[in-house]
Amino acid sequence: MDETQTYHAFYMLIKKSHHELPNRFTPQECTRILTAVMAAKSFSWRVVGITPAALIELVREICTAGISGFFA
C-alpha cells in the first residue's frame, strides 16, 4: 500500500466510524482527527483568505448539499 492509499484508507475508516457511531464520531470530531493527522504533511494546505465571490459560492454549495453532505 503506497502513501496515497494509506491516507485514503485512513479517511475511509474515519468516514465509516462516523456512519456506524454518529453520536461518538461527530462531524466536528472527524474533522479534528483528520486535521491533526494531515496538517503536518508537506502536501497539506489551508485557507488563508477567501474572496467575496468564493464565499458566496461556498454558501450556495452548503445550502444545496447541506453542511453534513461531506460525511454523507
pLDDT reported for residue 66: 64
Using alpha carbons, select from 23, 2, 3, 25 the residue that is nearest to residue 13: 25
Could you list the mean pLDDT of each consecutive 10-residue stretch along the chain, which spans 72 residues?
Answer: 87 93 91 87 76 87 69 50
- Quick check: helix, strand or coil at residue 47? coil
15-48 residues labelled b (16+ CB within 10 A) or e (exposed): beebeeeeeebeeeebeebeeeeeeeeeeeeeee
pLDDT reported for residue 47: 65
pLDDT reported for residue 43: 76
Report how far residue 63's alpha carbon sits from residue 24's, in angstroms, rounded to the nearest whole number.
25
